[in-house]
Structure 1
Amino acid sequence: MLIKTFAGALVAASAVFAGGAFAESGAQESTQQIQHIRNATIKVTYGETTFLIDPMLADQGAYPGFENTYRSELHNPLVGLPMAVEDVVEGTDAVIVTHTHLDHWDDAAQKQLPKDIPLFVQNAADAEIIRSQGFKDVRILDDVAEFRGVTLHKTGGQHGSDAIYAVPELAKLLGEVMGVVFESKGQKTTYVVGDTVWRDEVVRALERYRPEVIVLNTGAAEVSGFEGDPIIMGKEDTLLIHRAAPDATIVAVHMDAVNHMTLSRKELAEFVHNEGIDEQVLIPADGEIHSF
């Protein structure tokens, strides 16, 4: 069985801030920021509202590798956090969990986050799991929600190809996932795509919301038996996203931190350079902040 473990560079013109919450001077310069923490964990700040998305907060090597995946002999996370856990949590107004796989919602996050923090999930099943972990303000993002002046839209996707989902065990394991679009007056529309491959749901979201900033999980993770058929996007998908939304800035994350990722930041940086889209694709280091 693939898991309880699963279930249970380019630097642009933006300033780099390592450690802690957003620097005061940066907050004055821009009211919209994305901080890449590690893996798929990011902080999205719109004005005075900050969302922590898909928190995986464990120490380096805390968990076994994901069974039946690429490089499963390695322990996760592959690298430590770039700052103290307390600094990651500080300033968070709400948490968004796109799905409850370990590399998006781990034991350390469950222990460190306040039990009364507002927490958005994709469906009733994930809400039940997280409520059972002691969280008191769990909200299901059925379609659209408002939070402190920010509009959240749920978007769809699939955590692997149709061929992978044709295997019942894998379909159950990979389960449902969501993405989220953020909108607020005076801010750039931001689309956090989530753990999905290139699909019609993604195209529809791009066409409907016309995001100006797109956060893309690009590690091209693989499960055993489906080599070359990743369960999230990779470098070619990054190019597809750019072609579908040529005016958007892509922020590429979910690399170099868990065992089953087959695409590194270095490889993606070389690819986007060769394709001539360096200026449109940001590949942040852990802890790095970009302002928009």
Structure 2
Amino acid sequence: MQIKQIRNATIIVEYADKKFLIDPMLAEKGTYPAFPNTIRQDQRNPIVNLPISVEQIINVDAVILTHLHLDHFDEAAQKILPKDIKMYVQNEEEAKEVRNIGFQDVEVLQEDTVFKGIQLAKTKGEHGRGEELLKLMGEVCGVVFKHSSEKTLYVAGDTVWYEGVQEELDTHTPDIIVVNGGDNQVPEFGSLIMGKEDIYEVYKAAPDAKIIVVHMEAVNHWGLSREELKDSMKEKEMDSRVLVPDDGESYTF
């Protein structure tokens, strides 16, 4: 297994000899305006460049979209990705939307999906805290990868720590966990994804797992820097099991 951090939530997972692109945001730096009603309104998104070429990024066997927010499936990705590539989405409503863009091979993730011998299981998530914010942000998911030749991988997606994540850890006992940990904020409501304390809860709940933290410092409303997270990890002696990749960095397990 190899996991390569591209930018924001965009990662490439090489697993059982297949390559998956997760949550592609492929636009050039500064293409889109800042997300409204958030901090850093003077910074256009994405706020950093891609670390490798788009051609390298899209050379994959399948694409997984945990949800359709701009920073997970942007207009550039919609135009650049081959329309016949295998696409996995979280529900039928989003499948219809992706098909309407022109993609021809779109499948809704289930808890027992199989792609070329690889088990894919859709997982729960909550994109923030509080009924009003959850309604505003909409449904999200993560995905677990399983194969006899590989360690179990859990990509949590845009979620905070809550009992649903604990349930997924209990169900799947993953060896590797990827969390979106930039603590992105809407000031009126609070955190949209995991921050330092959420990541610490994952760390405690999965004592044998390696944790990779992505979705950091790439869109205007990030709330937690890599440096601050690394300092917190050292204080809590978490740094032996928690990895914080730079864009373009990869890990092999």
TMscore range, shorter length: over 0.9
Paired residue for 2:150?
187
Paired residue for 2:80?
112
TM-score scaled by structure 2? 0.98
1:48 Cα deviation after fit:
1.1
Q: C-alpha separation between the residues in 2 aligned to 1:263 and 1:256?
A: 8
Question: How does 1:64-79 map onto structure 2 within 5 Å?
Answer: 64-79=33-48
Paired residue for 2:54?
85
Paired residue for 1:27?
none
Equivalent AA in structure 1 for residue 142 of structure 2: G
Q: C-alpha separation between the residues in 2 aligned to 1:127 and 1:69?
A: 29
Paired residue for 2:182?
219
Q: Per the alignment, in what secondary structure is the counterpart of residue 197 of structure 1?
A: coil
Q: C-alpha separation between the residues in 2 aligned to 1:265 and 1:98?
A: 23
Contact 2:22 2:65 in 1 (8 A): yes
1:277 Cα deviation after fit:
1.0
1:47 Cα deviation after fit:
2.3
Equivalent AA in structure 2 for residue 265 of structure 1: R
Paired residue for 2:220?
259
> Between the two proteins, what is the percent identity of the paired residues?
51
Q: C-alpha separation between the residues in 1 aligned to 2:155 and 2:16?
A: 17
Task: Tell me, yes or no, if structure 1 residue 51 matches structure 2 residue 20.
Answer: yes
Q: C-alpha separation between the residues in 1 aligned to 2:214 and 2:109?
A: 23
Equivalent AA in structure 1 for residue 2 of structure 2: Q
1:171 Cα deviation after fit:
4.0
Paired residue for 1:285?
246
Paired residue for 2:3?
34
Q: C-alpha separation between the residues in 1 aligned to 2:204 and 2:75?
A: 38
Paired residue for 1:272?
233
Q: C-alpha separation between the residues in 1 aligned to 2:19 and 2:6?
A: 14
Q: C-alpha separation between the residues in 2 aligned to 1:225 and 1:200?
A: 24
Paired residue for 2:122?
154
1:173 Cα deviation after fit:
3.4
Alignment equivalent of 1:63, drawn from 9, 32, 35: 32
1:72 Cα deviation after fit:
2.8
Q: Mark the runs of 5 or more structure 1 residues left unpaired by the alignment.
A: 1-31
Contact 2:185 2:191 in 1 (8 A): yes
Paired residue for 1:23?
none
Q: C-alpha separation between the residues in 2 aligned to 1:242 and 1:224?
A: 26
Q: C-alpha separation between the residues in 1 aligned to 2:96 and 2:134?
A: 20
TM-score scaled by structure 1? 0.85
Please tell me the root mean square deviation across aligned C-alpha atoms, in Å. Answer: 1.0
Equivalent AA in structure 1 for residue 76 of structure 2: A
Contact 2:110 2:120 in 1 (8 A): no
- Tell me which protein shows more strand as a share of its residues: 2
Equivalent AA in structure 2 for residue 97 of structure 1: L
Paired residue for 2:94?
126
Paired residue for 1:241?
202
Equivalent AA in structure 1 for residue 62 of structure 2: A
Q: C-alpha separation between the residues in 1 aligned to 2:116 and 2:8?
A: 27
Contact 2:152 2:173 in 1 (8 A): yes
Q: How many residues align?
A: 253
1:186 Cα deviation after fit:
1.9
1:274 Cα deviation after fit:
1.2
Alignment equivalent of 2:112, drawn from 144, 161, 168: 144
Task: Pick closer, same or farther for the CA change 1:235–1:171 going to 2, 3 Å.
Answer: closer
Paired residue for 1:102?
70
Q: C-alpha separation between the residues in 1 aligned to 2:42 and 2:100?
A: 31
Q: C-alpha separation between the residues in 2 aligned to 1:287 and 1:149?
A: 28
Equivalent AA in structure 1 for residue 220 of structure 2: N
Q: Mark the runs of 5 or more structure 2 residues left unpaired by the alignment.
A: none
**Which structure is richer in relative contact order (CA contacts within 8 A, separation 6 or more)?**
1
CA-to-partner distance for each residue in 1:92-118, whole Å, 9 max, x for gaps?
000000000000000111111100000
Q: C-alpha separation between the residues in 1 aligned to 2:135 and 2:199?
A: 27
Paired residue for 1:177?
140
